[in-house]
Each structure stands twice: as structure tokens, then as C-alpha cells.
Amino acid sequence: MLTEHQYSTKSVRAIKLLYFLLYVGMAAWSTQFYAFLERDRALTGVQIGFIAAVQQVNNLIVLPIWGMICDRYGKRRIFLVLLAIAALLIEGFLYTGSFWFYLGFIILFTSLYNPLAALVDTFALEKNNQSVVHSSYGAMRLWASFGWAVSSFGTGFLIKQLGLSFGVIFPVTTIFFVLSWIVAFFSISKKHEVKTSKSPSFRTLFELLLNNKKLLLFFLFCFVYYIFNAPILNMINIYYSEICAKYYPELSEVDLNARIGFIVGLAFALQSFCELPFMLYANKIVERFGTKKVIFFTLFVAALRMFLYGMSSNPWFSVVVGSLHGVTLGLFWAAAIGYVHSLVPVDQCSTGQMLFNTFLALGTCLGNLVTGTMKDTISLQSGMQMNALLIVLLILGGILVNRYLKFNGKM
């Protein structure tokens, strides 16, 4: 029989290890995926943007449904099933197909893959709420950032230094997904799971949103933000592909691909390492300044980051600019996830987190479509300068709306 201290230490270590392994697998494919489509499969910017958009759009139905199913039937069981299928299914991307093949396959794969990150967040948040556990969500979540950093650099190294094709990202992902499944099977307990009596239905979703105006407004605000923020998320590797092609015109196609793979891997690694301190101290920062001020600040830094990307002509300078990722994702995510968790009922924790991810996915979906169009027309650099201004306007609008609602006693 474990003491309370032993239980706390062992269970937190298990969550940290699961975060690390799972995000190594996630980063291995997602950081290089769009470069794989562009360089190995010769898809256009519009086609890649469309695939990136569809990758998110199926979340509008998939994530809320999976959230309700998890809250009703048990998060651990559903997580293990989805992770096992995703580990095998991802190898299908190695098939050399047309744009339509990758479009259809990304819909199938992400329908099962996309809930995984939100479910691990739910495990961590529930663990954080247990009285015997002395660790914050951010302290556990930073291991995801560490895993993402290690994987981003590692896959970039495999592509550049060993001369492997971008396709190596898929077997690497499978290996770490299998390891994640083993850790989850033996360490995640269903003993402390809180299940809801509400059946999965759209009525359940509408009731959760319409009965909680504060939650709905926050979701809508983040949805708009992610439209403008899309270029510095997964499609940032397309930006590096664009800027590297201009900066290294003398390189052959093979050497340019290797250079892009290495720089993209290094950029994602640096971004993830910069998340670590903000994940670790996110709770203290939020307690000191308040959730809303912290979130507005992260948006301002995102606008600055995007402006600098737009002005840069040197990929190495852009890699340094990526260090702001610690604020724009690390601090934003920790503050936003905690805020959502505080607003939803305990027995609908998974549903609340999945809904939040759904609104972000919808924003990212629209943003990816715009990003792909910008790549083929005005260039991503020019588009980022425009989006930086739009984010500043969003911040001002959010502050004004918040003050209006506070003045009228509605917040």
C-alpha cells in the first residue's frame, strides 16, 4: 500500500512521462508534415493550406463528441483505444498518393488522433485537483514541451545529418505512440475518474455553452485569435521553407531540403524549450497578474512575434524570434486551459476541454486557408505583417468589451 506522498510522487511522474513520450511522437510528424507534403509530394501552397484546414475542421464535430463519450464512459479506456489506432494508422501517410488521397486520409487520421492531447491535459488537471498531489498543471505540462523540443530537433537531425527523407517522421511517431500506450496502460488509473450521467448529444453541448456566457465569450475570443495566429502554428514550417529558398538560392534541391529540415527542427526545438519556464511558473504569473491580463499580454507578444517574422529575411534570425513561443503558446495555453477548467462542471471536464480545442481548431482551420492563399499570392511574410496588426486590434476590442461587461455587471 502506497503512502499519500508515494502515490503523489508516482502518479505525477507517470503523467510527466506520458506527456514527454506522447509529444515526442506528435512533434515527430507534425513539425515536418507540411514540409513533407511540399518537398516530397510536391503539393502546392493552396493544397497544403486546404489539408491543414480540413485537419482542423473535422474537430468541429469530432472533438465535442469524443469529449462527451469520455465523460460518459471513461477517459482512460477511450484514450488507450484511440492511441493504439493512431499508432498504426499514421503509417498510411507513406503511401504515395494524390492530393485527394492525403485530404481523405488526414480526415480519417485526425478524427482519432486529435482528442489525444486534450485527454492528457484532462488527466493532468484531474491529478492537479487531488488533495494529495503537490504539483501544478504547468509543472506536468512542461514535459510535453520538453518532449516536443527533443523530437523537433531529433527529426530535423535525422533529415539533415543522416540524409533521410521526410517520410522518416511516421515510423518515429509510431514507436513513441506505442511507448506512450504502455505507460498509460500501466500508470493511468480509472479509480479517480468522475463520470457524468449526461448522454452524448448536441443538446448537452448547447446547454453547457448557453448556460455559461463567460465560457462562450472566451471561446469566441480565442477562436478569432487563432484565425490570425495560424501562420505561427503548424504552418510555420512552410514559412521557413519560403524564407530558406530565398536565403539559399545557390543550394541544390536535395541540399535545400536538408537545410530546411534542419532549420525547422531547430526552430521547433527552441520554441519548445522556451515554453518550459513559462509552463513551470504559469500558476504564479496568473495568480500575480490575473488570467485576463496574462492572456492579453500573450496576444501582444504574438503580434510582435509575427511582425518580426514578416520583417525578417534571415531564417536564423527567425529561429531566434521563435523563442517568443514560450509566451505565445506556453503561457497562453497554461492560463487558458486553467481558466476553462475553472468554468466547467467537474463531471464535464473532458467536454469543456474538447470544446475549447474545437473553437481553436475552427479558428486555425480558417486561418490555415488564409495562410495557404497568402503563400501563393502575397507571401507568408507579408501576410504575417498584416495579421500582427489584426491581433493588436483584437486585443483592443477584447479590452473594451471586457470593460463594458464589467461596468454593466455582466462579468
Of the listed ranges 189-203, 273-287, 397-411, the least confidently predicted one is 189-203
Give pLDDT tens digits for 173-212. Answer: 999 999 999 999 988 876 666 655 566 667 777 777 888 8
Helices marked H in 132-251 — which ranges?
137-161, 169-187, 202-210, 213-229, 236-247
Give pLDDT tens digits for 339-348. Answer: 888 888 777 7
Interacting residues of 19 by C-beta distance below 8 A, sequence separation 6+ = 120, 124, 140, 141, 143, 144, 147
Q: Residue 38 carries which DSSP code?
A: I
- State the pLDDT at residue 299: 96
- The residue-averaged pLDDT of 255-276 equals 83
Instruction: Using the structure block, give the residue that is written with the C-alpha cell 473535422.
Output: 58
- State the pLDDT at residue 199: 63
- The residue-averaged pLDDT of 100-125 equals 89
pLDDT at 89 over 90: yes
Domain ranges of the chain: 4-407
- The residue-averaged pLDDT of 88-114 equals 91
- State the pLDDT at residue 7: 59
- The residue-averaged pLDDT of 222-244 equals 86
pLDDT at 125 over 90: no
- The residue-averaged pLDDT of 261-278 equals 84
- The residue-averaged pLDDT of 107-115 equals 91
Nearest to 261 by CA among 374, 173, 163: 163
Mean pLDDT score of the chain, rounded to an integer?
84
Place 409 in a pLDDT band, splitting at 50, 70 and 90: low
Of residues 146 and 86, more confidence is placed in 86
- The residue-averaged pLDDT of 159-182 equals 86
**Between the CA of residue 408 and those of 165, 207, 402, 404, 405, what are the distances in Å?**
59, 24, 10, 6, 5
Place 1 in a pLDDT band, splitting at 50, 70 and 90: low
Give pLDDT tens digits for 29-88. Answer: 988 888 888 878 888 878 887 887 777 677 777 888 888 888 888 888 899 999 999 999
Give pLDDT tens digits for 335-381. Answer: 998 888 888 877 777 778 888 888 888 888 788 778 878 877 888 88
- The residue-averaged pLDDT of 152-158 equals 80
Question: What's at 16, amino acid-wise?
Answer: K
Interacting residues of 112 by C-beta distance below 8 A, sequence separation 6+ = 82, 85, 86, 89
- The residue-averaged pLDDT of 286-297 equals 92
Residues above pLDDT 90, as percent of the chain? 30
pLDDT at 411 over 80: no
The pTM (predicted TM-score) of the whole model is: 0.73
- State the pLDDT at residue 79: 93
Give the Cα separation of 37 and 263 in Å (integer).
17
Task: Give domain 4-407's CATH architecture.
Answer: Up-down Bundle (1.20)
- State the pLDDT at residue 302: 95
- State the pLDDT at residue 234: 65
- State the pLDDT at residue 303: 96
Greatest pairwise CA separation for the chain in angstroms: 66
- State the pLDDT at residue 213: 82
Give the Cα separation of 187 and 70 in Å (integer).
18
